[in-house]
Amino acid sequence: MSRNLKFAHARGWDLANTLMICVVVFHDGAGDYGVMPSTEYDGDPAAIVHDYDPWVIMDS
Average pLDDT, the chain: 90
pLDDT at 2: 62
Burial of 1 (0-12, 13-18, 19+ CB in 10 A): exposed
pLDDT value of residue 46: 95
Does 59 have pLDDT greater than 80?
Answer: no
Residue 5 has pLDDT above 60, yes or no: yes
pTM, entire model: 0.84
In residues, how long is the chain?
Answer: 60
